[in-house]
Amino acid sequence: MTELSLNEAAALARKATRGAGYDWGLATEAARAVRWLAMRGQPALDALDALLASETAAPRLEGDRLWAEGPLCALRAGAVAGDLAALPGLAGLRLERVRVPLLVLPFAAGTGRPMRVSGHGVAHVAPEALHLTGDWRGTQDLRLAPCDDAPAPTPPIFRADVSPDALTRLEALAQRTYAPATDASRRLGAGE
Amino acid sequence: MIALRPPSEVMRLERLGCFHQTRLSFMRQLTRRMASEAWRFARPVWEIGTDGVGHAVYTATGPKRTYSLVAFAHDLPDEKRTDRVIAEAWDATFTLFDGVPDAADIARLARNVPLQEAGRVDARSLTLSRANRSTRAWEMVVGALAAGRQPDAARLAEIGYLMRTTAVYGSGKFGAADRESYADRPELAAPFQAEMLTVYLIRAFVRDLAEHAARTRNPTAPRLHDALATALGIGNSTGLGMAPFLVNHPGLIHNWIAARETAIARIRALPEAAPEARALFLDLLDRARADLARWTTVHPRQARRVTQLRRDLAWLSRQPGLLAGPAPWDALCRLAARLSPEASELIHSLILEPYPEIVDPLATGMACAEDGAEPLDAGMPVGRLRTLLREIYGPALDLDWDAPETCARLWYVSAEKQEPRLGERATEPLDAWEQPLAPARDAARLWSVIDGQPDDGPVAHLLLDAPEHRAAIRRAQLIARAPYGEIRDNTLAAAMQPIDMLRAKLSFFGATRFDPRSDRWLRICMFAGAPTPEALTTEMADLWVYPPAA
């Protein structure tokens, strides 16, 4: 494993997500999500790598159900689910076939109230807390619902581990955000 | 009560590009704290050979902790010295180590710190930095000392420093500790304290290194006189890499500017000024005027501004009954508002000086713990969002953002250097790599999407259909709480001068003698006039930034 600072992890996540074709806004959400998960000891960059390597789709909303023809993108579905869960009166949401469900948890944590997310495992989240059991990899159906009891804050970790292979792939995606040099940019870009 | 100056006035690029340091500046916060807490300084390691190569350790010990500058001296050949952030070798390289390094730490740092971006540090390093000599000033000092005399003070003051840094990286860069991992320590709670401490200790090292070089030539060479060493700062070259910071950290920037504006409003609201306060202001005004002689720049726009500043301050100091009437600071600011922005902003900074008890407590609000992590308010009604956008972005919402003159420029990062650059949209095919550094344009695009949407629907529903506007919605919500966080100008305009953004940030560091070298990079001076570590006392800790008028 390679150890990065949180800022390095977040910056890499933002660039890699953008490089994978997402807009800058969602790329910034990915950076926030990676930072939040890494601070709670989760393999955040490896999860992002798994997501960006997959074909996924944006969610559609029908009643309390978020779904798509193919597997759901955890970033897109997470952002929508987090928004909807923050609205008053929401009882719960079902997210169908979410790719890399770990990446949904930071969005559930950002809703301003404690949430319980269940799939193959169970996660109890709040802005500064993550308690989880079970497996959060692969593709899973999730249920997300507010809960009354606030989980105890998780002591933050200020480093992010990433596997060498995931790091290589994420860096290759990040490279796509850099413009190839031209003579004009060499001459003018930094104002010599 | 005096109202704060509105963001529509303060957050214009032309005004931001005229900001000056204040008592709230991060360098002055550092020297005040180190003096009041009686920090101790030492140089436990000096392993530098007669070839000028080796390493040294400088320690700074506060009430609870010790920080160590680990400095590596390299003696770079002349042809390899460059101001650019991109380089592969430097005269000296540094890290600020958390604690006191042992031999194993030094050995590890020696393999990495000299490589800078190509090396790797860990969480025990708070910063990573490097510096190059000013060849002229270095020879002036080393040559004179080696000849047994002191260098010429006036000529040395023209340059102002022996070395200049080309980067002081902090907060997690290249493996260093993230700011949030140490932001709860009182001595590092204010912004950029680790970076400022790094530069302060670099300044001590650079003096020692120059004296060492002189003694190598002549073992009886004298030390550099304290007065000369005190007058010298550390130079810095800053380029486009810093400009995106202002756009990417709106919460933090708001806190900086709100602290200064709040201080200004509180001083303006004072019904009268004590004689000592008036005397101190007038003395510092004289000293600031005298210091203008040391502000040299060949940049035409800045040279004109400095000339006008001299005239404005001369005119102001001739005004009869300055500060004699009621609400004297408010009257002064009203007068200053008729002068050039350089003069006006300098006066607004200077009026804070006589009032540490009012101004200095505001420093505690200048950090921003949640910087970038502020939640999106998904329940906000679209009608409220519409009102916010109009309040914040005003006429920018009605511009034609596809018109060439509106979006003449674009920000991108080059593959070659991995540094931010500015391109010409019409002539360079760079759109695919554009960085998101035009909040006003993004707000205008959002504005066109919410046109005709019902006022009472939550933005969560809007985002279901238009997720690409997430960043613009989040930003408008943040700026509503942090109004000084948004530049009220077009960051893509053909006439936009990036140096204005750089100067605004550098002024909060406490930098002086802004010397633009183009519209995209500038040189500055840091800690010029500051007491050396051994001379740092509470009497000397604060007003050093205004050298005696002589």
Q: What number is the ipTM of this complex?
A: 0.95
Task: Give the 3-state secondary structure of residue B401.
Answer: coil
Task: Give the 3-state secondary structure of residue B530.
Answer: coil
Q: CA B232, CA B547: separation in Å to the nearest integer?
A: 11
Angle at B93 between CA B235 and CA B25, to 5 degrees: 40
In single-letter form, the type of residue at position B351 comes to I
Task: Tell me the pLDDT tens digit for each residue of B91-101.
Answer: 999 999 999 99
With contact defined as beta carbons under 8 Å apart, do A131 and A123 qualify? yes
Kindly give the pairing relationship between strand A93-99 and strand A139-146: antiparallel
For residue B512, what are the CA distances in angstroms to A32, A42, B7, B25, B30? 35, 44, 24, 11, 16
pLDDT for residue B419: 87
Q: Which residue has the tokens 């800078």?
A: B116
Residue B283's Cβ-side half-sphere holds a number of Cα atoms within 13 Å equal to: 14
With contact defined as beta carbons under 8 Å apart, do B443 and B109 qualify? no
Name, in order, each residue with C-beta under 8 angstroms of B302's C-beta and a sequence gap of 6 or more.
B514, B515, B516
Residue A25 contacts B where some CB pair is shorter than 8 Å:
yes
Name, in order, each residue with C-beta under 8 angstroms of B231's C-beta and a sequence gap of 6 or more.
B153, B156, B157, B160, B528, B529, B547
Angle at A153 between CA A151 and CA B362, to 5 degrees: 130
Residue A184 contacts B where some CB pair is shorter than 8 Å:
yes
* B-chain residues near A82 (CB < 8 A): 376, 378
Residue A13 contacts B where some CB pair is shorter than 8 Å:
no
CB-based burial label for B423 (10 Å; 0-12, 13-18, 19+): buried
Per-residue pLDDT at A55 exceeds 80: yes
Which residue in B379, B412, B463 is closest to A179 by CB distance? B412
Q: CA B332, CA B317: separation in Å to the nearest integer?
A: 11
Task: Tell me the pLDDT tens digit for each residue of A135-166.
Answer: 999 999 999 999 999 999 999 999 999 999 99
Average pLDDT along chain B, 550 residues, taken 10 residues at a time: 94 97 98 98 97 96 98 84 75 97 98 95 97 95 98 93 95 96 97 98 98 97 97 94 93 98 98 97 95 89 96 93 95 96 98 98 94 87 97 95 94 90 93 96 96 94 95 97 96 95 97 94 95 95 89
Q: Which residue has the tokens 């997959």?
A: A54
pLDDT for residue B181: 97
pLDDT for residue B294: 82
How far is the alpha carbon of B483 from chain A, nearest alpha carbon, in Å? 21
Angle between the B328-336 and B250-268 helix axes, to the nearest 10 degrees? 120
pLDDT for residue B86: 67
* A-chain residues near B469 (CB < 8 A): 25
Q: CA B312, CA B324: separation in Å to the nearest integer?
A: 19
Q: Look over chain A and give the mean of its residue pLDDT values, rounded to a whole number.
A: 94
| Tally of CB atoms within 10 A around A83 | 26
Closest by Cα among A133, A132, A130, A121 to A157: A130
Closest by Cα among B131, B29, B151, B36 to B82: B131
Q: CA A177, CA B363: separation in Å to the nearest integer?
A: 37
Interface contact B376-A159, CB threshold 8 A: no
pLDDT for residue A187: 66
Per-residue pLDDT at A192 exceeds 60: no
B111 or A188: which carries more pLDDT confidence?
A: B111
Q: Which residue has the tokens 């202001």?
A: B281
Per-residue pLDDT at A189 exceeds 90: no
Q: CA A6, CA A33: separation in Å to the nearest integer?
A: 11
Q: CA B123, CA B383: separation in Å to the nearest integer?
A: 46
* A-chain residues near B418 (CB < 8 A): 178
Q: CA A84, CA B134: separation in Å to the nearest integer?
A: 58
Chains A and B form CB pairs within 8 A to the count of 148
Residue A188 contacts B where some CB pair is shorter than 8 Å:
yes
Q: Dihedral angle at the C-alpha atoms of B264, B269, B275, B277, nearest 10 degrees?
A: -20
pLDDT for residue B75: 77
Interface contact B180-A29, CB threshold 8 A: no
